[in-house]
Structure formats: structure tokens, C-alpha cells
Structure 1
């Protein structure tokens, strides 16, 4: 009889970006740590399945490992992207280009349409206004956890990643993962039962969870790789500038 044992595997992240600049190293390290932790959860899940009856139903405790994988993955996505923004924007914004345009647009649209807030005023008069404004920008972008395609598009824009490199559709395809994350982390994965009794748990398809976690981790890997390339280009452009005046990024 052919075994129907479900095995959940994460795709490999691949190698660290070639010639990865220092600005992208922390983000890559956090992504790797997340991948390792989530892989460990799925390995444990697979071992439990092997020890039991492969034809038996998946137990609730086994589904809890899938729920934990969602929580671990979402925390790692948040940490990796927040770190990527914080560490790379100072270099990306030192030159003219898509990332700088997004930075300027954010302040005009979000913080300078009306009277400046106290936080904006403090950043403007700081000893290093540029650094303070960048930190405020990162705080605006990462004030809450990543909730879906809209937030991913904002991160993509801030990093200067082009739509033809990572399309809107690719970002929208991650929404099922973020919906699951919302249910697991914020709603405790509970649903109202149809009738009397206590609240019950949502059904979790562990294969679908594995696919969703793998896809979103690979997406973050793509963000890190593309941003690493952009950082190297921006650093080279900035080094060629005259008297420290930013010049347009040739890339």
C-alpha cells in the first residue's frame, strides 16, 4: 500500500547575495534564522507524522506546529524587512533615484500636508536631520506588522525595487499567508461554532501552510537580494559625487 504520509518541506533560500554589502547582512541573517526555525518546526511535524499512523487524521497538536510556523514566519518577515529598511536606506537615499523619490513623496504626502507633528519638528532640528528623518521614515513604514500586499508594496517602493522586478501580483499572492497570520496571531485561530458549545479551532491544511510560509520567505529573500545590488550601485554612485552632492544613480 502506498503511504499517504504528508511531508511539509520548505524550499531552500539559496546563497547569500553575491558580494553582499554590509548594509544587507543583518537582514539576511535574520531571514536565515527564521528559515531555520520554521524548517525545524516542519521537521518535527514530519517526524510526528512518521511515528503515528500515516493513514490517521492529522492531530490538533500537529496542526499547532503549523500554526507556530505561521507565527514564526510572520515575525521573521517583519524583522527582516524592518532591518533591511533601517540598514539600507541611508545608503540608498544618498543618491537620486526611485528610493529617494519615494522618501520625498512620503514626507510631502504624509507629514507635510498640514502642520508638522512634534516628531517631524524634532527630526528637522536634530543634530543630524537627515538621519533623524530617515529613522522617522522607517518608523512610519514599520509602525505595524506587515499585513498584506499593500504593506509589501510600500516596502518595495521605499527600497526602490521596480514593479517589473517584483510584481504587484506576486505581492498579492502572499495575502493568504497574511490572512492566516491574522487569524493565528490576533484571533487565536478561533472560530464560532455552529450551535452550542465552546469556540473551536480553525482547520489548518499543513501542506498549504508550508507552501505559504515558503513563498513569503522566498519573497523576502528576493527583496534582500535586489536591495543588496541597489546598495552596491548607490554606494558606487555616491563615491563618484562631487563635493558630497548627491548625483543620479546610473542604474
Structure 2
């Protein structure tokens, strides 16, 4: 294995979008892919400078590990931004044409009536109740960041994507490791207790980080392609 192997994401599908409702999400995905790949290229260049100076690269420097952390954060931000954009742009037309999306909307209404009856009464009693309800539904899916694989299932169900293949519950559950790593970095600065004294930061290695980021970008692309196919 080369001493300074360039980490590379898998290429995105050649055709991500054929509809206006997925075009913005696709552009955001391309940007996320380029950003993460750019971080890997920066890491490669930094390590090459060390090699050129005759310095060993067997151990990652702190700044190099931060580039790996940034790759996970950028991949998560891309997943978040793209999936929310899909919901905002593609869900409204899908609600008018795709029965599976209506099932999820009806479940949302039932849960709101049971858990928040005053809100349900206000929304369903509005002059344009259907418009207000759909706006509330979209907002409920997009107002927070995607934190767990449960959120991936929620987006899948809202868009009416069949829960099979890469969208099966069992496969989406495998993204728990990615969300854990992203949250450790974003919310905890990757710090961990290591006994008495100053907390240390978690170790991040090149290949595992590449795999986590690649899996996040890849499932995001799958969401774009699947949603586009339903329109």
C-alpha cells in the first residue's frame, strides 16, 4: 500500500436528476461530494509535504486528524441538506400523485391529533387547512438535523420510497456508526474521558473515516435517485 494513499469517494451516479423537484438537492449533493473529496486531497497534500521533508507519516498529525473529522462533518451536513431539500421540493408533488406518501401524512395527522390536539385543531380549522397541514408536515421533517438512522427512515417514509434494498430498515440501521461519529465530533469536539487529567480526543484513522463518509454520501445519492424515479 502506498505510504500516502489518496482517499477517494466513490463516484456519484452519472444521472442524479431528471426533474426540477430534485435538481437543487442534486446540486447540493455534488457540492458535498466535492467538499469531502477536497478535504481528502488536502490531507494527501499535507502528508506528501512531510514525505518530501523526509518526515515519517506513519502517525497522523493533529491537524491531519482534524481533516478526517471535517470529512465526517461535511458528509453529514451534505446528507442533512440534501434530504431536507428533497422533502421541501419533491414531497408536495408526490403527495398529489404517490399513494405511499399519503399514508405517511395520514399517520402524521393521527399522531398530531392524539399528541397535540390544540395544534391539530388550529391547523385543521384554518381557512386553507390542506395547505397548512402539508406545511406543518414538511416542517416537522425538516426543522431539525438528521441525528439517527431513525431520521433516515422518517425521510424514506415521507417520500414514499419502498423500504427494501438499500432503504430496508436493516440497512439503514448500519448508519448508526456514522451518526455516532458525526455527533461525537460536532457535539463533543471528539473529546473522551481517559481517566484523571485532561480529556483526550478520539483517534480517527484514514480508511474507516473514508468508509463512513463514503457511505453517507452514497445513501444520500440513493435518496436523490429514488425520489427522482417516483416523480
- The residue aligned with 1:182 is 183
Deviation track 1:89-122 (CA, whole Å, cap 9, x = no partner) reads 11110135111111111111x201155234x444
1:1-80 map, 5 Å: 3-17=2-16, 20-53=18-51, 55-80=57-82
- 1:137-163 per-position Cα deviation (integer Å, ceiling 9, x unaligned): 122123321122211111111111111
CA distance, structure 2, for counterparts of residue 16 and residue 52 of structure 1: 39
Moved over 4 A (4+): none
Q: Could you say which residue in structure 2 is the equivalent of 1:95?
A: 97
TM-score under structure 2 normalisation? 0.90
1: distance between equivalents of 2:128 and 2:21? 20
Separation in structure 2 between the aligned mates of residue 84 and residue 59 of structure 1, nearest angstrom: 38
- Where in structure 2 are there 5+ consecutive unaligned residues? none
Residue 5 (structure 1) shift: 2.5
Shift of 1:194: 2.2
Cα distance in 1 for residues equivalent to 2:98 and 2:21: 18
Distance 1:37 1:126 in 2: 43
CA RMSD of aligned residues (A): 1.8
3-state SS, counterpart of residue 203 of structure 1: coil
Which residue is 1:208 aligned to?
A: 208
Check whether the contact 2:141–2:154 (CA below 8 A) recurs between aligned residues: yes
Once residues 89 and 181 of structure 1 are traced to their aligned partners in structure 2, the CA distance between those partners, rounded to angstroms, is 27
Name the SS for the 1:93 alignment partner. Answer: helix
Question: 1: distance between equivalents of 2:128 and 2:68?
Answer: 45
Aligned residues of 2:98 and 2:230 also touching (Cα < 8 A): no
Distance in 1, Cα, partners of 2:132 & 2:187: 32
Separation in structure 1 between the aligned mates of residue 42 and residue 91 of structure 2, nearest angstrom: 38
